[in-house]
Structure 1
């Protein structure tokens, strides 16, 4: 036979359930009101930098745009901190207008894209397909910069460094021109099937700051070179002076000879003897005149 429950008991139980539910909702509402009273809504200096609302007990509750909420555990309590980027071992996740940093769940992971996909592992482990392994499998090569396994690793170089000092034969003076060098480092070594590294060192011609060295006694290596070049210049100048002197001598000799010949001619004309006028045909005799007349 079926037992019939009295309606009075059912009504009492329903009333108790309704009262308990109302009490629970009231306690939740009171707790939320008290929590809202404890929470401060505001920016720095009311709240730490990056926070839009904070609490004295729990730290940052919500963050400003472009900031991630990171929960830092201190003992048995977690405190919220707003950071621009997630630290090592955490990854950032966007959910509508809320950003939060979550911890990587892969073992020996230093940086990850998601909870179970690691992009960078702790030493001495290597990243392969999102997991941290001790060594690369067959057919894969180790990339020392990104610390992961790849089928082909190309050479990767860093930026060019600054130009070095202008030197020549290890000296910074004693010459007019020298060479300056700059280089760049290899960040990732290539695999046997990868592309080789480009040019790692460059040189250019430059002008030395100090044309002549001040102290040649202590720096003996550049003194012979300096004297040799100076001696060459002096020899060239001497040759030019010799040529000019020869030309001047020749010119002086010509002028001297011309002057002497003029002086001799002038002296001859001035010191010429008179002699006999008849012998010199200066006086014509009557016999000569008659002979000329007969001829006519």
Structure 2
């Protein structure tokens, strides 16, 4: 390659000696000039020596010589690094940019590609039109990759996994340790499924003011309103808000219909209870009176018997005493 470049430069110099190389003689004088570093144009472009027609002929130290083709002409350009599709080669004489192999989009050297052109796939520094056994091609990376990624147990290709390894969750052909935002793990399916958030409907109208299930017979009560759950949340979705509300209310106190009848029934029950109680007390009093009368009669009978026994006892004593015993000398 270096010999080719030297030959190219010699051809340019030889061409400058012939009038046929340029259309008019005014430019022929510029072609013969090989200016040293004193030219401002050479300094600005990084050239060590240059030609107005062919650009840089040599570069300053550590810069690479790159030949750009413009139509049938090649212009020398000095660069700090070679453009895509070329790799840099350094030597004591000069540093040059050398074109990569035709299938390489970029390369490190002539035998090691770093990126392949469309239709080729990189594998171990080579650009192949088909990947080795056990590997598949990735159009996005233009590389040969393992058939399944490390997280996959089975896959269609390196970009599409059909079953993940244990403990990982599948989503859109990829495996995840933690599901992305707006998704949640499904341990049964081992997939990342979309989160479902709670949805509720509109509030109902406020109910009539009531208290203990009644709407009359009170001053202060409560009103309520509700709304229906239209979509219940998934385990990790947003929970449902309150679906019922209660507020205090005031009403003009009024007697309930039928309250009078209930009051009358209650009064009748009370009267009947009092009558029953009075009759029970009367029966108990009469019973106690009978018991007192019976006790009094028994005491009277007992007294009469005692009197009779005493009379009989005195009569018996008087009959048993003789006249002689009654005289005292």
Establish whether TM, by shorter chain, passes 0.5.
Answer: no
TM range (shorter): 0.3 to 0.5
Q: Pick the structure with greater CA Rg.
A: 2
What TM-score do the two structures reach when normalised by structure 2?
0.35
